[in-house]
C-alpha cells in the first residue's frame, strides 16, 4: 500500500484549494491623504495590496482632470512605499475593452478607483472587459478599492453570498437567493444622503444598502465580513423583510418604508453581510 509524502500532500492541497478573494474597500470620500499617516485608509489599502511589493492600478476615469488625479494618487502611493503604481487611462468606452487595459489590471495587486463624476464612471466602465477583469482578479486575491464615486461603482460588481446556505450551489442554474447585491452611497452623513439611499433601497427590495461617511471605509473580506475603518460610521440598511409603496407613488411623492433594519457601525465594528447581523461588540 503506497503512502503520500507530507510535502506532496501539501502541494496537492495547494493546487486544488480555491484562491481567497481579495478585499473590497469602498471609501466614503475625503480620505486622509497624508503619506506619513500609517493608520490611514490608504495605508491599509496599500498594506493589504502587498505593501512595499504592491503594484497598483489607478483608475481616475471619474475625475474632471483624470491625468492630474491619476498622477497624484500614483505619486502618493509611491511616497507611501508602493513598488509601482500605474494609471489606467480610459477616455472613451472602447479604451476599457482593450487588451492592454486588461493586462494592466491583471498584473496589479491592488486596484484603486478615484472619485468624481459617477455617471461618467458608469458610462465608460460598467459592462466592459476592464470591469470583468477587476471582478475576476478580485476573486483571485487582488484588493479593489474606490473612493466617493469610485466606491459606488464597486456595487456594480460586488456580490455577497445569500443568507440561506441551502441555496448556494456550484451548478450553472440561476437560483433566487443564491447571491445578493449591495448598493453603496458615499459622503453619507456629511451630505444627508439617507433619503436617497432609502429611495434606491425601496426600489430594489431585499438589497443591502451601505452608506459610508467621509474618511471612512468598509473593508469587506473574502468571507463577506465588513469592518469599519476611519473617523466616521458605516450605515447598513437591510431590506430583506421591508416593504414600501414605491411602485404606487409618482415621482416626487414621499415614500413609506416599513420593517427595514438600520445598523450604524462606528470605527472597528464588524458586520456579517451573509447573515446580515452585526458581530458582537465584544469582538470588535
Cα gap 126→154, rounded to integer Å: 10
Name the active-site residue from 21, 155, 187, 260: 187
Q: Among this protein's residues, is 157 annotated catalytic? A: no
Cα gap 119→114, rounded to integer Å: 13
Cell of 157: 460588481
Q: Among this protein's residues, is 8 annotated catalytic? A: no
Cα gap 10→4, rounded to integer Å: 10
Q: Which ranges constitute the DSSP H helices of the chain?
A: 6-16, 41-48, 66-79, 99-106, 118-125, 129-139, 149-154, 194-203
Q: Among this protein's residues, is 79 annotated catalytic? A: no
Cα gap 151→148, rounded to integer Å: 5
Q: DSSP string spanning 156-171?
A: TS-EEE-S-GGG--SS
Name the active-site residue from 40, 49, 69, 148: 148
Q: Considering all CA atoms of the chain, what is the largest pairwise distance in Å, rounded to the nearest integer?
A: 76
User: b/e per residue, 176-205, with b = 16+ CB within 10 A?
Assistant: eebebebbbbbbbbeeebbeebbebbbeeb
Cα gap 123→138, rounded to integer Å: 21
Name the active-site residue from 31, 44, 180, 214: 214
CA 240 vs CA 47, 81, 207, 282: distances in Å: 35, 43, 7, 26
Task: List, by residue number, the catalytic residues.
Answer: 148, 187, 214
Amino acid at each position: 500500500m503506497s503512502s503520500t509524502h507530507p510535502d506532496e500532500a501539501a502541494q496537492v492541497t495547494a493546487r486544488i484549494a480555491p484562491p481567497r478573494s481579495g478585499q473590497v474597500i469602498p471609501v466614503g470620500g475625503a480620505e486622509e491623504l497624508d503619506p506619513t499617516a500609517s493608520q490611514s485608509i490608504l495605508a491599509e489599502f496599500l498594506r493589504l495590496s502587498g505593501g512595499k511589493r504592491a503594484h497598483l492600478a489607478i483608475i481616475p476615469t471619474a475625475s474632471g482632470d483624470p491625468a492630474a488625479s491619476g498622477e497624484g494618487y500614483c505619486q502618493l502611493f509611491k511616497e507611501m512605499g508602493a513598488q509601482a503604481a500605474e494609471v489606467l487611462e480610459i477616455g472613451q468606452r472602447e479604451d476599457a475593452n482593450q487588451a492592454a487595459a486588461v493586462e494592466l489590471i491583471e498584473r496589479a495587486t491592488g486596484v484603486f478607483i478615484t472619485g468624481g463624476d459617477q455617471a461618467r464612471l458608469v458610462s465608460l466602465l460598467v459592462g466592459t472587459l476592464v470591469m470583468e477583469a477587476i471582478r475576476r482578479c478580485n476573486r483571485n486575491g487582488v484588493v479593489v478599492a474606490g473612493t466617493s464615486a469610485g466606491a459606488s461603482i464597486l456595487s456594480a460588481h460586488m456580490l455577497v453570498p445569500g443568507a440561506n446556505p441551502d441555496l448556494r450551489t456550484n451548478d450553472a442554474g440561476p437560483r433566487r437567493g443564491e447571491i445578493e447585491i449591495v448598493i453603496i452611497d458615499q459622503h453619507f452623513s456629511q451630505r444627508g444622503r439617507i433619503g436617497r439611499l432609502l429611495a434606491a433601497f425601496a426600489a430594489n427590495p431585499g438589497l443591502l444598502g451601505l452608506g459610508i461617511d467621509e474618511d471612512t471605509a468598509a473593508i469587506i473580506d473574502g468571507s463577506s465580513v465588513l469592518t469599519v475603518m476611519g473617523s466616521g460610521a458605516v450605515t447598513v440598511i437591510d431590506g430583506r423583510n421591508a416593504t414600501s409603496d414605491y411602485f404606487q407613488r409618482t415621482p416626487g411623492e414621499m415614500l413609506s418604508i416599513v420593517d427595514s433594519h438600520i445598523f450604524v457601525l462606528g470605527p472597528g465594528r464588524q458586520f456579517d453581510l451573509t447573515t446580515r447581523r452585526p458581530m458582537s461588540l465584544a469582538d470588535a
